Structure 1
Amino acid sequence: ICLLQQYTDSSYEEKKSQWLNEKFELGLDFPNLPYLTDGAHKITQSKAILGCIAYKHNLCGETEREKIWEDSLENQLMDNQMQLARLCYNADFEKLKPGYLEALPAMLKFYLQFLGKQPWFLGDKIALVDFIAYDVLERNQVFEPKCLDAFPNLKDFISQFEATHFPL
């Protein structure tokens, strides 16, 4: 969320230390971190916050085709994000890790094919789904540093994302 807020030059304030004192006094439907107050809107849940920021800054698919692709890819990325999280927090991590690593190239191949030769996952314009893809691909690369070696367009995507928008 912070990366998207930085990209869109949206102001934000992190107030985790005050959260427990005020969480039930903020008028949130579902008191939770993170939350976003945007005018009259008070939003919780990460996906809803990301969608709000993306919509406000025209970072969503525009055509029906792009919107369908965006939804499909976003859900696939979230599934993969959850698979990695479940693995990392599993008591049988060491036993399950080889299976995840064995399946990882097939998962990455789908992203390679989806991205193709486009600069961004929906085409020529960066969209919310690119932020999610970056997060998922980067986490997998941290988990297994060589996982993208066989996928040059995914490595190029990460490099382009970091160099163009966030010199990290």
Structure 2
Amino acid sequence: MPTLGYWKTKGLAQPIRLLLTYAGEEFEDVQYEQGPPPDFSRESWYSVKPKFGEIFSFPNLPYIASSSGWKKTDSGLFIALKYILSFYVTLDGDTDKEKAIVDMIIDEAMDLRLGVIKITYTSVENYEKWKPDYFKTVPTKLAQFERHLGENDWFAGEKITAADFSMYEILIQHRRMQSDSLDAFPKLRAFLDRFECLPRVKEYLSLDKVKNLPTSSKIAVPI
């Protein structure tokens, strides 16, 4: 059974958790909790990080490892998902074109996430000041995703891929920040509905431990 380690947040790990859940892979979800303000201590991870030097060449979060010997640690969502896909190749696209689209969409989803990070990892005052401008500009990007989805159910075509797990979490974050942010994008809303009805995923998302998991670090503005 693989072990996934990350902070006690959704963050970079949530698409990985969702992917493993959908794949039917039982996994140990190890979560390290950041301390309270004003220090926001990361000692829960730093105190055990040295021992992971015996397992990983470069200990970092998220990390994922299995009893069969495969292991990976990386702070990049793209690389972490690609690593998991080496074991679940059916979620990586069936053709070279689909594989390229998967890579592109995961990368674009990360760019969109960085925009959210920019306005949430700050003070509440700054967040409230910057949020209106963000939601004036982000529809242009969301429209691109809407056009790309087109008549397809999923972002790489007719079959679900890892790209959809990345897109789900970042789109949900936008809806958490502003409830009407996707109102102008019916295809994106339909995508979210389809995703949330996936086998295993629906049950997972209904769990209190998942619904109550913070989106971001304690130093960020809660969304």
- Per the normalisation by structure 1, the TM-score is 0.90
Q: Which residue, out of 151, 158, 165, partners 2:185?
A: 151
Q: 1:43 aligns with which of 48, 72, 93?
A: 72
SS of the counterpart of 2:56? coil
Give the superposition deviation at 1:20: 4.7
What is the distance in 2 between the residues matched to 1:48 and 1:12? Answer: 19
Letter in 2 for 1:15: V
Question: Given the superposition, is the C-alpha separation of residues 84 and 95 from structure 1 closer, same or farther in structure 2, using an over 3 Å criterion?
Answer: same
Task: Say whether 1:87 aligns with 2:119.
Answer: yes
Asked whether the 8 Å contact 1:61–1:122 carries over to 2, the reply is yes
Unaligned runs of 5+ in 1: none
What percentage of residue pairs aligned between the two structures are identical?
Answer: 32
1:160 corresponds to 2:194: yes
Pair 1:134 & 2:202 matched? no
Mapped to 1, the partners of 2:172 and 2:28 lie a distance apart of 25
The DSSP-based 3-state class of the residue aligned with 2:115 is: helix
Q: Which of 13, 38, 60 is residue 92 of structure 2 equivalent to?
A: 60
Which piece of structure 1 moves more, 12-21 or 71-80? Answer: 12-21
Cα offset for 1:19?
A: 4.9
Alpha-carbon RMSD across the aligned residues, in angstroms, is 1.8
CA deviation digits over 1:114-143, x for unaligned, max 9? Answer: 000101111111000000010111111111
Contact kept in structure 1, 2:78 and 2:106, CA below 8 Å: no
- Deviation, structure 1 residue 21: 5.0
Aligned partners of 1:54 and 1:127 also within 8 Å: no
CA contact (8 A) 2:22 2:198 kept: no
Distance 2:51 2:100 in 1: 38
Residue 32 of structure 1 is matched in structure 2 by: 60
Say if 1:113 and 1:155 are closer, same or farther in 2 by CA, change over 3 A.
Answer: same
| Structure ranking higher on relative contact order (CA contacts 8 Å, 6+ apart) | 2
> How many pairs are equivalent?
168
Q: Is it true that 1:15 corresponds to 2:30 in the alignment? A: yes
What letter matches 1:43 in structure 2? K
Higher helix share: 1
> Which stretches in structure 2 are left out of the alignment for 5+ residues?
1-15, 33-43, 206-223
AA paired with 2:109? L
Q: Tell me how far 1:73 sits from its aligned partner.
A: 1.6
